[in-house]
Amino acid sequence: MRSDLIPINNRQVYSLYAFDDSNDGKSSMKTISAFGGFTDISGCNNSYPYTFSEVPDDSLEVAWPRSSCPGGSSNEQCCKEWDEDNNGVPDGYFAAENGAELEEALRVIFVDILKRTASGTSASLPISETKIGKNLVQALFIQKTI
C-alpha cells in the first residue's frame, strides 16, 4: 500500500478468475491483485507494486511471472510487496476451474477479510436486569472504511 496514505489506506483487492484458462484473463486479474493489494517497501518502486514503475496501459499484456520475482529469472525481496508466500503469484489472486476450487477460494478470501477487518469480545450478560429483560453485550471493532 502507499505509504503516503497510511494510516487511512486499508484496501485489499481480491481477484478470483473462474471457469476459464485464458492467459490474458489470468494476467489481467493478477495485475489487478498486485496493484490492489501491495505493501510498499522502501526502495522497491515507491507507490507501485515492485517491478512496475507505472500503471500498465493494458493489464492483459502484463507478463507473469514477473522477471525479477519467483518463477522468473531471479527472486528479489521486493516481490514480497505483493507475494508474501513467495510463489510468484499475487497473494490476492485466486483461480478456480470447478465448484470445489471456487468454494475453497471464496473460503480463503472471506477468512482473510475477517482477519483484516474485525475483532471483538466474547458476548456477555450484564448482572443488572431491566424491566423488559436482559441485555446481551458484545464489543465489536470494525475497521473504518473510506
What are the residues binding Ca ion (CB under 5 A)?
40, 44-45, 83, 85, 87, 89, 91
Least distance to Ca ion, CB of residue 127, Å? 49
Q: Between 2 and 134, whose beta carbon lies closer to Ca ion?
A: 2
Least distance to Ca ion, CB of residue 143, Å? 23
d(CA 23, CA 4): 34
Q: Between 84 and 129, whose beta carbon lies closer to Ca ion?
A: 84
Q: Between 115 and 131, whose beta carbon lies closer to Ca ion?
A: 115
Least distance to Ca ion, CB of residue 40, Å? 4
Phi, psi of 61 (to 5 degrees): -95, 0
H-helix segments, the chain: 23-36, 99-117
Q: Of 51, 56, 47, which is closest to residue 3 (Cα–Cα)?
A: 47
Which residues have CB under 8 Å from 41's CB, separation 6+?
50, 77, 78, 80, 81
Least distance to Ca ion, CB of residue 44, Å? 4
Cell 494476467: give the residue.
27
Q: Between 31 and 40, whose beta carbon lies closer to Ca ion?
A: 40
Q: Between 25 and 65, whose beta carbon lies closer to Ca ion?
A: 65
CA-only gyration radius of the chain, Å: 20
Least distance to Ca ion, CB of residue 62, Å? 16
d(CA 97, CA 101): 6
Phi, psi of 95 (to 5 degrees): -135, 145
